[in-house]
Amino acid sequence: MAAATRSGRGFGADASGTVWEVGLVAMPAVVAQEDGSSARPLIALVMEAGGAIRSSAVGPADQPLAVLEPAIANALHDPQAPCRPGPPRRVVVNRAELLELLPPLLPEVVISQGATPQLDRAVRLMREQLASGEDLLGTQALSTYLTGDIGPEAVARFFEAAAALYQRRPWERIPGDGHLFQVSCRALAIRGWVGCVIGQQREHYGVVLFQSLEEHERYVELGHRFEAGDHQAMDAAPPHRAINFEAKAAMPPPLLKEIRRYGWPVAPGDAYPTVMLIEPPQELKPPRRTDLHQLEAVALALVAWIEAEPQIARLWQQPSPKRRRFLVEVAGERVPVTIGVVAAAEEPAEPRPATDAPLTPAAPPKVPAALRETVDRLLARIDPFCARHLDDDYRALIHEAVAALARKRPSPLLTGREPSWCAGVVHAIGAANFLFDPTQSPHCSAATIADHFGVATSTSHNHAKKVRDLLKITPFSPRWCLPSLLESSEIPWILEVDGFLRDIRGLPIEVQLQAAAKGLIPYVPALRGLPRGRA
């Protein structure tokens, strides 16, 4: 009887990890060159089927073999711990060109093109970290502030403006990243840029700017698609730019050396400013002097605005907030900058489920006695949202997720605000089941979740990530998938059996029973009378 498993080793693979996934991937960031140009390097990744990275190498995009050779050599003879030296039994690649490049490097090894889930996950994490502002391929991809036509004097003025902004701590004055502002400066070709301040959750501090409200909304929409499982969605994100503040420990040594050399001013608290210009597909572009002047003007306008509006948070509550005009000094010249809030648009009511009948009464989930009151309070907040926007199946998954968090030792529900956990659980379950896709029913936006529970969208996203990590929630994971999705999609039923991807619904019932016993599928399809899929 064929053995069934979803462990990283795959069906039929032995414990030594002899199945490799090998891929060539364009780095999701552009690296600044000394001449001011930019380049997007190529990464060669060699991974075991269990998820461990054996080796990697980076090199020019036009020399794939030169990148691949050292990666394969290290994977064979000097792999990263805990991997052991030795050749693979079989290799799966992500690109057709590797079918020609790899055989000379791995003679007598079976090489085929196919699914590379561990490789895809590693690439997805790189893209996610860049998109969320984490520093793996963001600041660490920078080597100098003096790119293009930027000189030390221009950087010094930018540092002064950034330090003044940091000292005003706008993330403590502006409630959330959904409170948008608009800024214009004709002299510097800033025409109605839309921005938001980040840092309210004390994770990443800075200002992000888009060329229009439509591009900001597009960015948010793609973020929802990313959360729903479309891991290439952010490649189509519109251009945007940011001033980020980093701690000294997070700064690359070349940047710190340059700051010390020129004596550029840094605000107290190790608030080292960096410039991020992001262009599709999530490429980091080196700035020029014009870009630096524009960001300097925005920083100074925010400083003036905060000083002129002691109760700045209240501006977003006014029906017709006024814009303010300030004169700021950029590159030795005083230029007028207009800044004001972007009034929140009236969001249309989300559609209710197909029926207006109340949700079916649910039995209370099993949780430790010490957490019963906490869980009851959370569910009392969540159930009205489910009644308004979701259905019984969604509510059952959300209840189970809350109960699973309560059973953790120690339970994360004992820390943090209850509305944040409510939003995070609903967001996590919704994203795993494509709730944000308007073609699905029911559906709603991530902003609707955050607004219902009275939290910022960033808080909802951050707590959703915590929930996903704690409960290992992914799209089509059997435990966290809606029954309707399980039955209508082939993806949950595709497993690796004896080294091949198979639709388990077309395999003998013994294999289905084994897979169900291991939790790889939610139930035995042969016992449910489901149509048999193709093997």
Domain definitions of the chain by residue range:
19-116, 132-341, 369-483, 490-527
Q: Which among 379, 374, 445 is positioned nearest to 411, based on CA atoms?
A: 374
Q: What is the mean pLDDT of residues 271-292?
A: 85
Name the band, by pLDDT with cuts 50, 70 and 90, for residue 380. very high
Q: Can you spell out the DSSP letters for 368-395?
A: -GGGHHHHHHHHHHHHHHHHHH--HHHH
Which pLDDT band holds residue 231 (cuts at 50, 70, 90)? Answer: low
Average pLDDT over residues 19-48: 70
Q: Is the dihedral of CA 341, 345, 346, 348 positive or negative?
A: negative
Q: Could you tell me what percent of the chain has a pLDDT over 90? A: 31
Q: Label residue 485 by pLDDT band (50, 70, 90).
A: low
**Which pLDDT belongs to residue 384?**
92
At 287-346, the pLDDT tens digits run 899 999 999 999 999 999 999 998 898 888 877 778 899 999 998 899 999 999 986 544
What is the per-residue pLDDT for 532?
Answer: 40
pLDDT at residue 187, as a whole number: 93
* Least-confidence region, from 10-24, 29-43, 257-271: 29-43
Average pLDDT, the chain: 79
Concatenate the DSSP letters of all residues of 468-481 into one string. HHHHT--TT-GGGS
Q: How many CA atoms lie within 13 A of 54 on its CB side?
A: 35
Higher pLDDT, 285 or 340: 340
**Which has more confidence, 57 or 14?**
57
Say what the pLDDT of residue 9 is: 31
Closest Cα partner for 52 from 124, 119, 115, 130?
Answer: 119
Q: Which residues pair with 32 in a beta bridge?
A: 38
What pLDDT shows up at residue 492?
Answer: 57
Q: Is the pLDDT of residue 38 over 80?
A: no
| pTM attached to this predicted model | 0.50
pLDDT score recorded for residue 359: 52
In CATH, the number for domain 369-483 is 1.10.472
Structure-model confidence comparison of residues 249 and 405, the more confident one = 405
| Residue 78: pLDDT over 90 | no
When comparing pLDDT for 519 and 113, which is higher? 113
Say if residue 480's pLDDT is above 50: yes
d(CA 64, CA 72): 12
- Which of 111-115, 134-138, 436-440, 477-481 is most confident? 111-115
pLDDT band at 266 (very low <50, low <70, confident <90, very high): very high
Within 264-371, where are the H helices?
289-308
CA dihedral 504, 506, 510, 513 (to 10 degrees): 40
Among 470, 463, 421, CA closest to 227: 463
pLDDT digits (tens, 9 = 90+) for 140-182: 456 788 888 899 999 999 999 999 999 999 998 988 777 899 9
More confident residue, 437 or 263: 263
Provide the 3-class DSSP secondary structure of residue 415: coil
Least confident of 80-84, 176-180, 223-227: 223-227
Helix (H, G, I), strand (E, B) or coil at 86: coil
pLDDT over threshold 50, residue 530: no
Nearest to 129 by CA among 358, 373, 365, 465: 465
CA distances from 321 to 57, 318, 324, 344, 492 (A): 53, 6, 10, 11, 50
* Percent of the chain residues topping a pLDDT of 70: 74
For 392, residues 6+ apart whose C-beta sits below 8 A from its C-beta are: 359, 360, 362
**Cβ atoms within 10 A of the Cβ of 51, count?**
16
Lowest-pLDDT range of 22-31, 100-109, 333-342, 388-397 = 22-31
Per-residue pLDDT at 489: 55
And the tokens for 227? Answer: 């959360």
pLDDT, tens digit, 9 for 90 and up, residues 95-131: 888 999 999 999 889 999 888 888 887 777 665 554 4
